[in-house]
Structure 1
Amino acid sequence: MKRAIIVDSGCSPTKEWIEKYNLYFMGMKVYIDGKEFTDGVDLDHEKFYSLVKSADDIHTAQPSLKEIMNIYESLLEKGYEEIVDIHFSSKMSGLFNTAQMAKNMLNVDVKIIDTKMVSIGASLVARRIVELLEDEGRIFEEVESKVPKIIENTFMEFTVPTLKYLIKNGRIGKAAGLAGTLMKIVPVLTVEDAEITPLTKVRGINKAYKVMADNAFEFIKNKPYNIKIYKVHGFDNNKVQEDHVFEMFMEKFEKLNYDYELVEGRIWPTVACHSGPEVFGLAVYGEENPL
C-alpha cells in the first residue's frame, strides 16, 4: 500500500528524519509582531531566533481547514492509498480537531494520531510510530493499538525562566499554580495527560540540572530497548544549559551500556511561541520489552 505520513511542526521533526522517511510536513502559523509566517516553510530556526530577540509579540495559529483539506486532496491525487497524519497534543492546539473536520468533510480515510505530547516528547512518539510503520512494516491498526504504550514509554522535561509565554498563550495547564512564584525558583515541567504539568521546583539552576538528569535516568534505566534521547534548546545561550543536563544524564546512562539514538536541535518556533524562546529540555524514550 502506498502510504503518506504527515507530521506537524509542533512535533519538532528534524530535517534528517523528514528526508529519511520522505515525510510530508504541516507547519503551524507563527506571528511575530503581527507578521505571518509558516513554520518550516518561510520561517526557519535561525530566522525565528534572530527576529524574536526584539519582538514584542509572538503567537501561533493553526493552518485553516481549507489548507488541511488541500493537503489531503493533493496526496490522494498523487496516488496515496493511505494517509497517516501525526499531530502534537490536541489539548494544546485545535490542529488535531481541525484535521478531523477536514477528514470528515472530504469523507476520506485519513488516519489521524494525537501524540498527546508536544515538541521533543511528541517527536519521540512520532518517531516510534513511523519506525513501526515503515521499518517494521506493521499495519496501521496494529500500530494504532500501541500508541498509548508508546506515549507511556516517553518522558520529556523542560525549564523556562518565566511562565509568561505559557500563560499568555493559554498553554500553562496544570502549572498555573506556579505563576507569580518563580523569582529564584526554577520550575521543571513536563507534559502529563496532554497538559503542561510541574514536576518540581528548585532553587537555582544547578539543582535544576541535577533534577532533570536524575529524572531522565530514573525513567529510562529499566527500559533497555529502542532508546531515543532528544536534547533541545532555544536561544544559543540555552545550549550550554542543555549540554549540562545531557552530560550529567549521560554520566549515569552510559554505565548501562544500552544502545541508543541521539537527536538534538533547537526548539521549533511553533513551540517556542508557547514556552518562550529561552528554554531547554530533554526527552527520552525506551521500552521494557520490544513492542
Structure 2
Amino acid sequence: MIGLICESATDTPFEVLEKDYVRWVSLRVILGEKEYRDVLEISQLEVLKFMETDIPKTSLPNYKDTYDAFEDLIKKGYEEIFAVTISSGISGTYNLFENIALEMRKKYSVKIKIIDSKNISIGAGVIVYRISELIDMGKDFEYIQNEMEKIVGEKTNVFFLVPTLKYLKANGRIGKVSASIGTFLNIKPIISVNKEGMYFDVAKSRGMKRSVEKLLEVFQKWVGNKKINAVGIYKSGNSDQTNEYVQQVIDEINKMNPNKVFVGDISSVALVHTGDGLVGIAAILY
C-alpha cells in the first residue's frame, strides 16, 4: 500500500486530506511570544489581526508531529510513502522530512520518496492531489515516482499577486522579486517560482484591478493549448474586493475547461509571508 504525507503550507484541498492513506503535518505560526500549529490552532483572522501592529513569523513543523505522521502510516501497513513539501528554496521542511525519512528507512523496511515541489501553497497542493489521483487509479510506486519527475518544475506552476511586498521582505522570502518596485506608483508584481524554487516576478502592472487581468494573462500564456489536470484559485483575507477578484479569476479559468478546480484560502503560514489580499492561481497540466 502507498501512503502520502504533506505539510500545511501546501494548502492541499480537504478532499485529499480526508483520504485514509494521507497524513498532514502543521507548520508553526509565531505571534510575539506565542506559537501555534498552522490551521489547527490559529486562523487567518487571528493572524491578520496581529499583522495590524506587528510582523508574525513561521517555523518548521514540530519534529515529533512529523515523525509520528510517518510512523503512523508505517504501523498501519503502508510500506511505500510519498511526502510532498513546499519548495526547499523557501522552507526547511524538505530537509526535515528527508532526515525523518532516513530514520524510518533504518528502523523499518519501507520505501520513502520526499518530493520537493519547487512550488508554494496550492502549487504544491495540486502535486499532492495528482499523487492521490494516481494512487486511487492503482498505479504503483515506481510509476508515480516517474510521473513526478516529469511533472515537478515542468507541468506545475503558481502565479500570485499581493497588495504589498512588505511581508515577503520582512520574512526574508523575497527571492528574486524586485523589492525596489515603487509602492508610490501602485505597481504590483505577478510572482511565480522558478526552477530553483525561488520567488521571482514574471510581470508587473499598476493597481490590483489591472494586475488581476495581467495575472490571468500570464497564466493563460503559460497553459497555452495544454489541458489542465487541476487548478487551484486561492486567496488571503475576505474583503469584498478580494472576493470579487477571485470570482473574476474563477469565471475566466472555467472557460479553459480544467478537469478539476479547487477554490480556497491560503494557510496562516502562507499568510504570514504575503499579507491580506493575495490572489493566486496554480495548476498542474497533463
In the superposition, the TM-score normalised over structure 1's length comes to: 0.86
Seen in structure 2, the aligned counterparts of structure 1 residues 227 and 202 have a Cα distance that, compared at 3 Å, is same
Task: Supply the AA of the counterpart residue of 2:124.
Answer: A
Of residues 54-63 and 38-47 in structure 1, the stretch that sits farther from structure 2 once superposed is 38-47
- In the alignment, which residue of structure 2 is the partner of 1:209? 212
* 2:200 match: 197
Aligned to 1:38: 37
1:4-153 paired onto structure 2 within 5 Å? 4-20=3-19, 22-45=21-44, 47-49=46-48, 51-52=49-50, 54-106=52-104, 107=106, 108=108, 109=110, 110-132=112-134, 134-151=135-152, 152-153=154-155
Deviates more, 1:78-87 or 1:67-76: 67-76
- 1:244 — aligned with what? 248
Alignment equivalent of 1:156, drawn from 148, 155, 158: 158
2:231 match: secondary structure: strand
Where does the alignment leave 5 or more consecutive residues of structure 1 unmatched?
none
TM-score, normalised by the number of residues in structure 2: 0.88
CA distance in 1, matches of 2:213, 2:145: 35
Distance 1:67 1:259 in 2: 35
1:32, 1:55 within 8 Å by CA — same for their partners in 2? Answer: no
How far is the alpha carbon of 1:130 from its aligned partner? Answer: 1.9
Q: Give the % identical residues.
A: 28
> Take 1:14 and 1:281, find their aligned partners in 2: how far apart are those partners?
15
Tell me, which stretches of 5 or more residues in structure 2 are unaligned? none
Q: Distance in 2 between matches of 1:34 and 1:280?
A: 30
CA positional deviation for 1:120? 1.6
Q: Does 1:265 align with 2:253?
A: no
Deviations 1:192-212 (A, max 9, x none): 121111011112222212211
CA positional deviation for 1:30: 0.8
- AA aligned to 2:235 is H
Residue type of the alignment partner of 1:188 = I
Give the whole-Å Cα distance in 2 for the aligned partners of 1:137 and 1:147: 16
Q: Distance in 1 between matches of 2:149 and 2:204?
A: 28
CA contact (8 A) 2:27 2:62 kept: no
Take 1:21 and 1:179, find their aligned partners in 2: how far apart are those partners? 47
Distance 1:96 1:143 in 2: 19
Seen in structure 2, the aligned counterparts of structure 1 residues 260 and 74 have a Cα distance that, compared at 3 Å, is closer
Where in structure 1 do 4 or more consecutive aligned residues deviate above 6 Å?
none
Question: Relative to structure 1, is the Cα distance of residues 148 and 181 closer, same or farther in structure 2, using a 3 angstrom cutoff?
Answer: farther
Structure 1 contact 115–126 (Cα < 8 Å) conserved? no
1:267 to partner: Cα distance: 1.1
Letter in 2 for 1:271: A
Matched length:
277
- Does the CA-based 8 Å contact 1:33-1:58 persist in structure 2? yes
1:181 is aligned to: 182
SS of the aligned residue for 2:15 comes to helix
- Tell me how far apart the structure 1 counterparts of residues 71 and 41 of structure 2 sit (CA, whole Å): 22
RMSD of aligned C-alpha atoms?
2.1
